[in-house]
Amino acid sequence: MGGPRRGCSGSRATSWWTASGSIRTSSTGHLQDKKLHFNGNAALRGGWNVGAGYFVESFGYDSALYAGYRLEVPRAGGGGGLDTVAFTAEGVTERLRNTLS
């Protein structure tokens, strides 16, 4: 017999997490980009859905990829003109993010 049973709430919940990393740097052997995601979802009676997620991520920088890059910047001392300097960037950018839907 089909149809919902009495006493059954008609709702369900799921949750999951994922961990990933990519691009191994040659100098350290560590993962350059790291991601850890926690997610949850619930289907409620009446067709409503609720979801939430929390994401912990870090994005690395491999200086060997940009070793030949140069930037033009204003010359030091304010004498006018431009100077060319090597491109450098921060080692790791970290980000925490959450969602609710």
* Domain range list for the chain: 12-100
Percent with pLDDT over 70 in the chain:
81
47: phi > 0 → left, psi -120 to 50 → alpha, else beta; which? left
Cβ 33 vs Cβ 24: under 8 Å: no
The pTM for the full model equals 0.58
- The pLDDT tens digits of the residues spanning 42-58 come to 998 888 999 999 999 88
Mean pLDDT for the chain? 79
Q: Given this model, what pLDDT does residue 12 score?
A: 86
- The pLDDT tens digits of the residues spanning 24-39 come to 665 666 777 888 999 9
